[in-house]
Structure 1
């Protein structure tokens, strides 16, 4: 049985991490910290701890394809979990969506990005699975434009094989990217998050830095006003 909502929201004091100096700003992505705190774990670690008298699941590190199954087990083994605290550099996009849907299936479960922590890329979709969502002041909901062209090994191999293979790979990337964009749009609708988050923010971020002396930003951290504007967060503390 999960902790009652009133008790969950009293976690505020416990949720705020020890006072920190303002993080140095990333000169290439000025809305974001220069050194995001998304943990040094190799894959997302799930650990249950007690905070303010409630059970909290700490979810820290990169998202891989095993996350949905591991998360399902953690929630089943610990039915009193009231909140999930997230910090992650992202990872497997479809695993992030699946984990988000799993979280939404647990009524009243709170997701939280604590002050100083960063939730990036696929982690955004895990976070949005919470029925109640908190981005603390100083917490970073960091987005970028989705791209599959980061798979340099596949691209380099196709170039070595010749033009025809490269063209085929680019076609596959475009098709897969379009499919995932459609899935992301559907996910936001189901989670009650404004689709304008995609059109106004995510799709306006560049996949790679521009050349020359122009704007080189590829990442964007939402302000406190923006997380409520787009209904990314729906609980004010």
Structure 2
């Protein structure tokens, strides 16, 4: 009876610990743990007996060079822990390639942390990759059409400017899609991550559908080789 009473008491506490989910993006937490809205910082720490480099913040164009300098400076670093809402797409790809140039380097998204958008490609650079239970690998469809200020300005300037902008968006988006595809192949990620997940997300929220993000489950990060089977767990 005492054991039953204990289970009855603790069950609500376990349920309460589950994070609230985003009503617009139901696979994702309502409050993603992607850190502060500031330029990405780099710091080192000892975690579980390992030397870890912590990358926390918004990815900007200087990040790949700073990341390489940090890894060159400290040969004891074994893992890179990531928490970011994303940022510069091409800087994310470049940073992923920097990580891959250090053989055996691992990347990790710890419990409670979120890696979103261009952070996905930084994470994919790891030779070994871990998404801890409670860690969030959050994706969306990469697009240039979400810059409403630029679009509104071109519309205000007339049809010719709008057509020009549409052409630039189409060209830039096609180039970025090609780069993403090439990057996934190089990093050993299933291309189906793009076709099945990323490119199926709505680019811009609409009145009828507010969902623009998707968070992979533990099964899905393995299915698409985001976390290689040999490093799972």
Following the alignment from structure 2 to structure 1, what is the Cα–Cα distance between the partners of residues 101 and 165?
Answer: 36
Q: Is the 8 A contact 2:86 2:116 kept in 1?
A: yes
What is the CA distance between 1:35 and its match in structure 2? 0.6
Backbone CA RMSD of aligned residues: 1.2
* TM-score scaled by length of structure 2: 0.90
Q: Return the index of the structure with the highest Cα Rg.
A: 2
Following the alignment from structure 1 to structure 2, what is the Cα–Cα distance between the partners of residues 165 and 72?
Answer: 40
Following the alignment from structure 1 to structure 2, what is the Cα–Cα distance between the partners of residues 77 and 49?
Answer: 14
- Select the residue among 183, 188, 191 that pairs with 1:187: 183
Following the alignment from structure 2 to structure 1, what is the Cα–Cα distance between the partners of residues 63 and 37?
Answer: 14
Q: Is the 8 A contact 1:90 1:122 kept in 2?
A: yes
Superimposed CA distance per residue, residues 101-131 of structure 1 (whole angstroms, 9 cap, x where no aligned partner)? 0000000000000011100000000000000
- Select the residue among 165, 186, 204 that pairs with 2:161: 165
1:111-122 to 2 correspondences below 5 Å: 111-122=107-118
* Partner SS, residue 165 of structure 1: helix
* Partner SS, residue 149 of structure 1: coil
Following the alignment from structure 2 to structure 1, what is the Cα–Cα distance between the partners of residues 122 and 226?
Answer: 12
- Select the residue among 68, 79, 82 that pairs with 1:83: 79
- The residue number in structure 1 matching 2:3 is none
**Number of aligned pairs?**
216
Following the alignment from structure 2 to structure 1, what is the Cα–Cα distance between the partners of residues 46 and 37?
Answer: 21
Following the alignment from structure 2 to structure 1, what is the Cα–Cα distance between the partners of residues 35 and 184?
Answer: 26
Is there any run of 5+ residues in structure 1 with no aligned partner, and where? 1-19
Runs of 4+ residues deviating >6 angstroms: none
Is there any run of 5+ residues in structure 2 with no aligned partner, and where? 1-15
- The residue number in structure 1 matching 2:45 is 49
- The residue number in structure 2 matching 1:32 is 28
- The residue number in structure 2 matching 1:4 is none
Following the alignment from structure 1 to structure 2, what is the Cα–Cα distance between the partners of residues 224 and 87?
Answer: 18
- The residue number in structure 1 matching 2:7 is none
What is the CA distance between 1:41 and its match in structure 2? 4.2
Superimposed CA distance per residue, residues 177-221 of structure 1 (whole angstroms, 9 cap, x where no aligned partner)? 010000000000000000000000000000122333xx4311000
What is the CA distance between 1:22 and its match in structure 2? 1.8
